[in-house]
Amino acid sequence: MSQITVVGSFSMDMTVTMEEFPQPGQTLIGKKLIKSPGGKGANQCIACARLGGDVEMIGMLGNDENAAVIRDLFLQEGIVIDHVLTTEKEPTTIALIEVNQAGQNKIIVVPAANFCYTVQDLLKIKPVLAKTRLVVAQLEMAMEVVEKLAELCEELQVPLILNPAPAVPLSKELLRRVTILTPNETELAILAEAPTENLEQIKAAAQKLIDQGVQNVVATLGDKGALLANREEVTIIPGYPVKAVDTVAAGDSFNGALAKALVDGKTIKEAISLANAVGALTVTRTGAIPSLPTLHEVEAFLRQWEAKQ
């Protein structure tokens, strides 16, 4: 059995690059269209694998050409997909992504096959979850699946990293079962129902989630790094400021790296520091999965960074 199990989403990403985002009712000429596999779950899984992680992917694909491309990619990456299912009801999920010249992105996901994965499907892989060391999940599957996954992780005493994206308010029952919650600033504001416009507000919002039962909140803050909050401390783990080309998959690469580092035995602070570096390197490249770095590339990035300091 794999050390890390990612239960989550697939998609085929259709990414359009442009100077500026269009205004409502406005038509613009884009620069480039890129079609590539993605989805938060898939991105996190591949990010982990490229860093040397022993990882399995769980989820649902359609019975179509996009699914065949995704399956081939996962096999090439050496990822176990024995429990990736196929549905005839819906096509493989599509994500429509806009990226402007500043590297900012806007994303619309059409759930399709991802939402066809059911609680009954999840219960069938309980033996897989029982033997893994860490589970990673997101919110691009049906909420009842995410809630049951958290319940199973608690029962099996398997740590759960939950990347709460796309963010929606979560129940206290779900929050208290999360080992590490990894929102960005916007997602943190939605989850805590509190402003996150400055560091003090971010700390207060994270503390609110800790008070609701989350064991650790790791809020990603872009090139400023990440905030770690738990019942013992609230601290900032510094980031690696770089020139962002495309921020798509930055958070996903962070989560994949965090999972791999924790399974390797690093402390949570050490794991966050490595994840910050992986996220920084990811945003210097375009695309989702094409931007995810290997362990060798991350080590080279860190050596170059240290040499400049």
Q: What is the DSSP string of 116-149?
A: G--HHHHHTTHHHHHH-SEEEE-SSS-HHHHHHH
Hunting for tokens 């269009």 — which residue is that? 22
Render the burial of 250-277: b for 16+ CB within 10 Å, e for the rest. bbbbbbbbbbbbbbeebebeebbbbbbb
**Which burial class, exposed, middle or buried, applies to 210 when counting CB atoms under 10 A from its CB (0-12, 13-18, 19+)?**
middle
13 catalytically annotated: no
Contacts of residue 143, defined as CB under 8 A and 6 or more positions apart, other chains included, come to: 168
Query: Would you state the CATH architecture of domain 4-21+30-308?
Result: 3-Layer(aba) Sandwich (3.40)
Contacts of residue 12, defined as CB under 8 A and 6 or more positions apart, other chains included, come to: 35, 36, 37, 38, 66, 69, 70, 92, 93, 94, 95
What's the predicted TM-score (pTM) here?
0.93
Task: Given the residues 54, 64, 82, 252, select the one marked as catalytic.
Answer: 252
Contact 105, 98 (CB under 8 A): yes
Query: Residue 174: how many CA atoms within 13 Å on its side-chain side?
Result: 20
Say whether the peptide bond before residue 166 is cis (omega within 30 degrees of 0): yes
Dist CA 125 CA 62 (whole Å): 19
- Token digits of residue 21: 């985002």
Residue 135 pairs in a beta bridge with 5, 160
CA 89 to chain centroid = 26
CA 151 to chain centroid = 20
Tell me: the pLDDT tens digits for 267-300? 999 999 999 999 999 999 877 788 999 999 999 9
Extents of the domains making up the chain: 4-21+30-308
Digits of tens for pLDDT over the chain (309 positions)? 689 999 999 999 898 999 999 999 999 999 989 888 989 999 999 999 999 999 999 999 999 999 999 999 999 999 999 999 999 999 999 989 898 988 788 888 888 999 999 999 999 999 999 999 999 999 999 999 999 999 999 999 999 999 999 999 999 999 999 999 999 999 999 999 999 999 999 999 999 999 999 999 999 998 899 999 999 999 999 999 998 888 878 999 999 999 999 999 999 999 999 999 999 999 998 777 889 999 999 999 999 999 987
- Token digits of residue 85: 């299912």
